[in-house]
Copies of this chain bind each other. A is one copy, B any other.
Amino acid sequence: MTDQNGKKRVNLRDVAKAADVSVATVSRVLNSPGAVTEKTRNRVQEVIDQLNFVPSAAARAINSGRTRFVGALVPTLDNAIFARFLAALERALAARQLSLVVATTSSDQAIEAEKAKGLLDIGAEGLILSGITHSAELEALIEHTRVPTIATSYFDGTCNLPTIGYDNAAAAQIALGHLHDLGHRRIAVVHGPAQNNDRTQDRIRGLNAFGQGTELSWFQASIGLQGGVDAARSILSGGPMPEAILCLSDVLAMGLLFGLQGQGIDVPEDVSLMGIDDLPWSAVSVPPLSTVHLPVQRMGEQAASALADWVEHQNRPESALLHAHLVARSSTLKCVRGE
């Protein structure tokens, strides 16, 4: 291979020649230094440094079958929750000498399958997915290639794939439980598109199973901040004001907060507001947002170490449940009925 400029890259043979050893020996000092005399090893290493030799990843991959990179498929980078997850994932992977190739799916299973195939085609040794619901093609692809794959943001001990994540239904129930404890019963629930999002579906399922005399009204918002803002309008124009609003994500809650404030509604005096995620801004908004903390950073770290271990030592990990917990701040207040 020649560089784009023209002078060829230093290769094993060059090093071997310069160090007056065989290519095998050079290869050894690279891969199993213990199998080489210290004297030889030092000499070779010196030449390597001097010649600025970097083994070709491609050639190495072709022989060892290892490419040292994995792929992650997330719905979007435009939501801090995924960005935070990926940041932690990338950091933890890098510590294990693995690179991360990121692909976004726009929550579209067809795109997801296509990009996953693309990642595998270019040699990804493992895959990180979001959620456990995927297209038949993707499932077949994983089944067929047996590529180490971990589903995240979702916990399901019975899933074919190892899952590392939280119990979304429980997280939603924690939120609703908090509102319930404060005495709220008539609660508006705002969620994003549930169609292709099993995390959202699960949260909805969790709320429906909650019971305890709660009276839930449902609002589906479009994705992102603006969806929350619009939902505020829907809620305000859609009959009596609920006692509390539960958003199934912090981004939505932020939109709601702004939407309500824009209409002169005070949170939490006029209505309690809750989110799920615990993004950085939730701690500092005015009022600070009560929410359910989802341990996405830990999820990133655990997914990284589990996938690394699977890829390197064929240890298929067990699913891991990460605990979500309530973060009660001041956007929720005890319910005072009949003013």
For A55-88 the 0/1 string (1 means CB < 8 A from B) is 1111101110101110000001110100110110
Q: Which of B4, B99, B122, B284 contacts A57, CB < 8 Å?
A: B122
Q: Which of B52, B78, B101, B147 contacts A84, CB < 8 Å?
A: B78
| Known contacts A57-B123, A101-B101, A262-B286, then 18 further A-B pairs from the complex at CB < 8 Å, ordered by chain A residue | A3-B65, A57-B58, A57-B122, A58-B59, A58-B61, A58-B67, A69-B122, A76-B87, A90-B103, A90-B104, A94-B118, A99-B122, A100-B101, A224-B280, A226-B284, A254-B281, A255-B284, A259-B284
Q: Shortest CB–CB separation between residue A335 and chain B, in angstroms? A: 24
A interface residues (Cβ-Cβ under 8 A, vs B): 1-5, 52, 54-59, 61-63, 65, 67-69, 76-78, 80, 83-84, 86-87, 90-91, 94, 99-104, 115, 118-123, 144-148, 224-226, 229, 254-255, 258-259, 261-262, 280-281, 283-286, 314
Q: Which of B65, B91, B119 contacts A1, CB < 8 Å?
A: B65
Q: Which of B4, B59, B86 contacts A77, CB < 8 Å?
A: B86
A281 to B78, CA, bound (A): 11
| Copies of this chain, tallied across the complex | 2
> A7's closest neighbor in chain B, by CB?
B146
Whether the Cβ atoms of B65 and A226 lie closer than 8 Å is no
- A sample of 15 inter-chain contacts (CB < 8 A) reads A4-B146, A4-B147, A52-B144, A58-B123, A61-B61, A68-B122, A77-B86, A77-B90, A80-B80, A90-B104, A99-B118, A226-B284, A254-B281, A258-B285, A261-B286
